[in-house]
Structure 1
């Protein structure tokens, strides 16, 4: 179910009514949110609930067992439970997300030789089953939530809640795993940040009057604007980047489309994150901020502190630091960064183009590290130049998101140079340029309004966004990060 669909509007309306009007206890309110989240997730394919339920059961059961063993002095046994639980969750992710990639990479040639001796039909049933397996939507996000819960419990950062007045640990863990605003594409929330926000009999139920409707309106209007007006309109234009469409376009137009895709992927995911934060606030939950004007980054390390911040924090806390972080010299740090970003790239998609994208960012992080300066040490002009360089390189990297096939990505780059002399048609470029304006203004606003928006300017801005939503929304499409 999409946040932009009419069916979601009716589900949200019914959930709000049941949550605030009908549910009179904390347990019932949790039950309403869990039920709504399961309907949201299963709307198009109810079979997906089987895997979600299994992963939720693993996370809840293992975290509870780890907490019991750790409290009883069984630290060694708890460590093996953590290893087993994380391994099971990663195995689910590997099978459902990467089995096709591994098959075509490592097994396809062996299968060709096998069939040469045994006939083409040999082994086809299991291959057809494997290659026809759909990717469960949002699997990367709820698997990471499960791993976070298990590891945080083992580290002592979080203790799973005990049964309290009808609120079971499994019920609250289920809500943490399936809460619909963050279920499909994050933000990735740590257990220690989410669980304290779940109401208990001692804290009472959450009430309608506690909602900050002004904050919710800001988040939802801006979120839907960036998704429906900016990202969806840009998606119509960047379709020209597809193979068979871009070959005859002028080089400048092709370059502009690449920058358009850079703006599209930001607006799409930023818009989703704002909607998720707004929906969370409607039910009394504060989800982590996921973006902080990432295209103002003056280094790749700063970019990753500003882009998909919840994923960056997850990779740092559960992968980079356990590998040794930056504690063992520049060479070891560079290796750790390459490993983390390679795996982070593969997390984004089951194609070697995503892995290449991760290695590209890992190499940039490693190469720039000896030359990084502290904030304020560089002049304004130097920082502006560095921002332009980083933005250009990041935009180049997005080419491997658009074309996970490396050959297609480099063919597009070749076409930019080969077609550069062709005449530019302004009417073809104008729609992309218009859609770039909101993204530019969003990033430039700290410089244009250093003291912040006045109440009147903010009201007019939100009104303009709402008007454009009504008259100039693009063709609705799924959020880009839903595929991850």
Structure 2
């Protein structure tokens, strides 16, 4: 069940909210409602994975309890190994077997493994939990707290990647406090904003972007206009799609009285690649920093070691996005960009802000071509087209108005958190047009075949 469907917005979310607030005065009851609703939500995707999700969650909780009783590092280490094994088996076993077969000239493996939805996100949450225990974090969560932490449906499938220390302490606070109505109103507005980003902008841009990449995948080199339109529409599509999901997740959590960390902060205004990663998918960036880059040594062992750590971290980050060499190459590209950015900064040289922004955006757009293309030949053809090697030509954006509005919002507009949590003031003057916009979005999504969020595949 997608967030951006009538079934979810009218049939799942309202009764879940109503039942939650009916039980809000009793902690165990309201947590049980959220856990049950979350498992139902996950089961509507594929009920066969629900027992696996519950079993893995309880196994991780039991390992945490064993650490609390014995103090032996064996238990959190076992938890980390368990989650990495599960992630590798489901997401990467076929990919590496296929790569090995290709390298040795053998036919690709005949077997496949069905990927559980959201596995990259909920395994990372558990890995972070066990890593924090290893570092001396003392709180060991109760079973119901841990179940809600892992399965909470707004962030279960595609994040944000939430740490136990950020959300579990909130479970003890009644959502019926003084901020209840403000949380409900601001959460609803964030939900609406995310829905507009996804259904109104990202899915509309995809109607132009997808056929252009599909045409390049057939072996044709796009002309200059086609290649740049493909690259630019995807650059905007992935931002509005994923930030739209994040806004919806954060907004729904707020409606339940819970605050999730924000995931985007106007990344396309960054004037360096380092600043871009401080603004894009921020919860993944900090996970990679805290649980990969710093444990590898960070910047503590000289420049060469730091550059190596950056490359390794970003290549692993690329592989996390998908089991494909294009994702690894995309991560390596960003790792190299971060390394160059660091060396440049150490020299004391500075680019004017506008020049820094232009270089950063060109780098990011080229990277998105590699990220979006199904294989290296397709990416190469699109990049050749962007260089003008396919001729000048022309093309058409199916809804140019949406494209220009999206570009303006991405480059000029405020971040979602600034717009909805700081600038906007609850008022009937806002509620009425918001309600009209919500009805319009319901009609829009009702007339389309729903498109899954891009990050659901990761």
Report the Cα distance in structure 1 between the residues aligned to 2:250 and 2:6, rounded to whole angstroms.
20
Aligned-pair CA distance for 1:193: 0.8
1:357-372 to 2 correspondence within 5 Å?
357-372=330-345
Contact 1:237 1:432 in 2 (8 A): no
Aligned to 2:21: 20
2:307 to 334, 340, 351: 334
For 1:166-189, what per-residue CA distance to the aligned partner results, in whole angstroms no more than 9, with x for missing partners? xxx111101001000000000011
Report the Cα distance in structure 1 between the residues aligned to 2:401 and 2:366, rounded to whole angstroms.
18
Unaligned runs of 5+ in 1: 71-77, 114-123, 162-168
Aligned to 2:80: 86
Aligned-pair CA distance for 1:430: 5.6
Aligned-pair CA distance for 1:463: 7.6
Contact 2:222 2:381 in 1 (8 A): no
1:3-18 to 2 correspondence within 5 Å?
3-9=3-9, 10-18=11-19
Aligned-pair CA distance for 1:217: 2.8
Report the Cα distance in structure 2 between the residues aligned to 1:35 and 1:287, rounded to whole angstroms.
20
Report the Cα distance in structure 2 between the residues aligned to 1:292 and 1:248, rounded to whole angstroms.
35
Report the Cα distance in structure 1 between the residues aligned to 2:27 and 2:432, rounded to whole angstroms.
39
| Structure 2 residue 119 is the aligned partner of structure 1 residue 139 | yes
Aligned-pair CA distance for 1:156: 2.5
1:98-117 to 2 correspondence within 5 Å?
98-108=92-102, 112=106
| Structure 2 residue 66 is the aligned partner of structure 1 residue 95 | no
Report the Cα distance in structure 1 between the residues aligned to 2:146 and 2:423, rounded to whole angstroms.
39
Aligned to 2:399: 431
Contact 2:197 2:240 in 1 (8 A): yes
For 1:457-482, what per-residue CA distance to the aligned partner results, in whole angstroms no more than 9, with x for missing partners? 97899589657636766653000001
What's the secondary structure of 1:476's corresponding residue? coil
Report the Cα distance in structure 1 between the residues aligned to 2:57 and 2:294, rounded to whole angstroms.
26
1:313 to 272, 276, 286: 286
1:411 to 381, 394, 416: 381
Structure 1 pair 404–358 and aligned structure 2 pair: CA distance change class (3 A): farther
Count of residues paired in the alignment:
445
Structure 1 pair 175–143 and aligned structure 2 pair: CA distance change class (3 A): same
What's the secondary structure of 2:295's corresponding residue? coil
Please, what TM-score do these two structures have when normalized by structure 2?
0.89
2:325 to 338, 352, 358: 352
Contact 1:295 1:303 in 2 (8 A): yes
Contact 1:234 1:432 in 2 (8 A): no
Aligned-pair CA distance for 1:435: 2.1
1:263 to 236, 240, 248: 236
Aligned-pair CA distance for 1:245: 5.9
Aligned-pair CA distance for 1:287: 0.3
1:85-234 to 2 correspondence within 5 Å?
85-108=79-102, 112=106, 128=110, 131-161=111-141, 169-199=142-172, 206=176, 210-212=180-182, 213-234=184-205
Aligned-pair CA distance for 1:337: 0.4
Aligned to 2:33: 32
Aligned to 2:268: 295
What's the secondary structure of 2:399's corresponding residue? helix
Structure 1 pair 204–279 and aligned structure 2 pair: CA distance change class (3 A): closer
Report the Cα distance in structure 1 between the residues aligned to 2:15 and 2:360, rounded to whole angstroms.
45
Aligned-pair CA distance for 1:149: 1.3
Aligned to 1:469: 441
Report the Cα distance in structure 2 between the residues aligned to 1:421 and 1:398, rounded to whole angstroms.
22
| Structure 2 residue 411 is the aligned partner of structure 1 residue 443 | yes
Report the Cα distance in structure 2 between the residues aligned to 1:135 and 1:436, rounded to whole angstroms.
36
For 1:55-101, what per-residue CA distance to the aligned partner results, in whole angstroms no more than 9, with x for missing partners? 2123211122222333xxxxxxx222222210111000001001111
Please, what TM-score do these two structures have when normalized by structure 1?
0.84
